[in-house]
């Protein structure tokens, strides 16, 4: 059982506000100084707008992987949708990444294409016979031959956009 006294229910009278400290014209109060410090600390920890380099890699890999899965569901194997989405995602990654990480967005597309091709080869086994190594070697080799235009297009788009952004940043 909890016992509460009547004093707990008495109204509390508001206290009058303390007068502001008198300062000389050039002197700042402690509160004003702490607000300025807090504001500068907050601006120093804010991130610049845009994706990080890792975010651009996730954008490229995620959208291309989903496109490859859709392509396999529609046509039975990895095809043109995979390549088109790779090129578009590479360009978007180079556009959306923050300036500090532009070089990552320029280098990542060909590396991600290699990784994505290998991952897709593990999923897409349509019509291939033989052992695992033989199927993988054939699939990856075929993907680099038939997918070369998409890989080159995505890589060149990312490099051109990145170069333009870096060149523009140097002039300012």
The pLDDT value recorded for residue 65 is 94
Average pLDDT over residues 76-91: 90
Residue 66 dihedral angles phi and psi, to the nearest 5°: -65, -40
CA atoms lying within 13 Å on the CB side of residue 130: 9
Checking if the pLDDT of 85 tops 80, the result is yes
Indicate if the pLDDT at residue 110 is higher than 90. Answer: yes
Q: What's the whole-number mean pLDDT along residues 54-66? A: 95
Q: What mean pLDDT is predicted for residues 28-35?
A: 56
Domain count, the chain: 1
Mean pLDDT value across residues 92-109: 94
92 against 171, higher pLDDT: 92
For residue 163, pLDDT over 90 is answered with yes
Residue 28 counted as domain residue = no
For 97, the domain range is: 53-171
- In the predicted model, what is the mean pLDDT of residues 12-24? 61
101: which DSSP letter? G
- Give the pLDDT confidence score for residue 3 in this predicted structure: 60
- Rg of the chain, C-alpha, whole Å: 30
């Amino acid at each position: 059982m909890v016992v509460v006294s009547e004093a707990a229910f008495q109204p509390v009278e508001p206290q009058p506000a303390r007068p502001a400290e008198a300062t000389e014209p050039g002197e700042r109060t402690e509160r004003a100084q702490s607000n300025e410090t807090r504001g500068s600390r907050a601006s120093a920890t804010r991130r610049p707008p845009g994706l990080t380099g890792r975010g651009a890699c996730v954008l490229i890999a995620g959208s291309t992987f989903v496109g490859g899965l859709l392509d396999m569901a529609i046509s039975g194997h990895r095809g043109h949708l995979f390549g088109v989405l790779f090129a578009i995602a590479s360009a978007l990654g180079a556009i959306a990444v923050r300036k500090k990480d532009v070089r990552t967005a320029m280098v990542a597309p060909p590396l991600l294409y290699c990784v994505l091709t290998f991952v897709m080869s593990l999923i897409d086994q349509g019509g291939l016979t033989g052992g695992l190594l033989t199927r993988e070697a054939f699939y990856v080799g075929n993907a680099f031959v038939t997918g070369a235009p998409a890989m080159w297009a995505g890589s060149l788009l990312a490099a051109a956009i990145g170069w333009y952004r870096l060149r523009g940043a140097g002039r300012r």
